[in-house]
Amino acid sequence: MASGNAIRGSRVGAGPMGEAERGESAPRLRISFWCSNGHETQPSFASDADIPETWDCPRCGFPAGKDQDNPPDPPRTEPYKTHLAYVRERRSDADGEAILAEALAKLRGEI
C-alpha cells in the first residue's frame, strides 16, 4: 500500500503556470506564407523581429513566400549520378580509349 503522505501526479516545484509566474508575453504577429502547392502556414513572430522573406512549408517542405499569387518555385532536384556519369562528363570517348590503351599496355608489359 502506498504511503499516505505522497502527492501523486505531481513533482516538486509544479504548480499553475500563469501570467503571474511567467510574466507578460511579448506582442506577437502572425504572418501568412504560401508555398507552390497552395499550403498556407502562419508562424508567429515577435512584433519587433525581422520577418524572413521565405519560410519552409511544414506540410511539403517547399519554400513558402508572403505573396499568395506568386509563391517561390520549388527547389530543383538533381537526379542521382553514378561515378561513370561524372567520368563521362569530364572525358570524351577518345580520351577514354587512350587511357584504356595505356592501361592495357602497362598490364602487358609493353611500357
Whether residue 88 is annotated as binding a ligand: the answer is no
Q: Are 74 and 63 in contact (CB under 8 A)?
A: yes
Q: Is 57 annotated as a binding residue?
A: yes
Q: Which has the closest alpha carbon to 64: 16, 31, 95?
A: 31
Q: What are phi and psi of 77, to 5 degrees?
A: -95, 130
Binding site residues, as ranges?
Answer: 35, 39, 57, 60
Binding residues for Zn(2+): 35, 39, 57, 60
